[in-house]
A and B are shown apart, each in its own frame.
Chain A
Amino acid sequence: QVTLRESGPALVKPSQTLTLTCSFSGFSLTTRQTCVSWIRQPPGKALEWLALIDWDDDKFYSTSLKTRLTISRDLSKNQVVLTMTNVDPVDSATYYCARATPDIDGYYFDYWGQGTLVTVSS
């Protein structure tokens, strides 16, 4: 079955770089029409889409965060990594990775990890 699990530091200092790893099983990122995305949710707030990487290694980023984000994949490990530079307390959130399936005109997130809570504080 499809599973995803996020991992990374629970606490990061302001201005540091945050690195999160999504380890997945039950599907392959080399299969056509298969993608992985990152989404975050600050405490008590709405979901915010961050980035997506697809089977062709094409990458897409949030318009407001694109200068700070990098998404990459390690096919040998079935992992997708998200790095966010120069973090700020407003980046404190639960970070989710999700499998994304492209539709005719967009994507939908059909499987989600449980999320990992990241706090940015000195």
Chain B
Amino acid sequence: QSVLTQPPSASGTPGQRVTISCSGSSSNIGSNAVNWYQQLPGTAPKLLIFSDNERPSGVPDRFSGSKSATSASLAISGLQSEDEADYYCAAWDDTLGAEFFGGGTKLTVL
């Protein structure tokens, strides 16, 4: 059983808004920041959202993060074909004393 749980897949059509969830517990998401990474096919992951809802320089404001209790979400508005990628959430777990990634969500733009 994964520490952070994501749906394996998500999809949407161009222009739509999609959300990807990440479920954890009080020892990780419930008490620490959640970060999101985007991995385009055949490339290294890229930081998309840090500290729950902050965007690094250069990341479009179409991408946003939110958190409530022990769950976090990544929202992508105005979906574009180039958003087709794998998305991973990550957080530190205080009980286990380690960083964990979710299982990843493959986003398909139909």
Could you tell me which A residues sit within 8 Å of B by CB distance? 37, 39, 46-49, 52, 60-63, 96, 103-110, 112-115
Bound Cα distance from A121 to B92, whole angstroms = 32
Bound Cα distance from A104 to B58, whole angstroms = 23
Bound Cα distance from A61 to B96, whole angstroms = 10
Bound Cα distance from A39 to B46, whole angstroms = 13
Residues of A within 8 A of B46 (CB): 112
Query: With A104-B33, A105-B32, A110-B56 known to touch, is A49 a contact of B45 (CB < 8 Å)?
Result: no
A50 to chain B, nearest CB (A): 9
Residues of B within 8 A of A96 (CB): 44-45
Cross-chain contact A105 with B44 (CB below 8 angstroms): no
Could you tell me which B residues sit within 8 Å of A by CB distance? 31-33, 35, 37, 39, 44-47, 50-51, 56, 88, 90-92, 96-104
Query: With A63-B97, A105-B31, A105-B33 known to touch, is A46 a contact of B47 (CB < 8 Å)?
Result: no
Query: With A96-B45, A112-B45 known to touch, is A103 a contact of B50 (CB < 8 Å)?
Result: yes
Cross-chain contact B92 with A105 (CB below 8 angstroms): yes
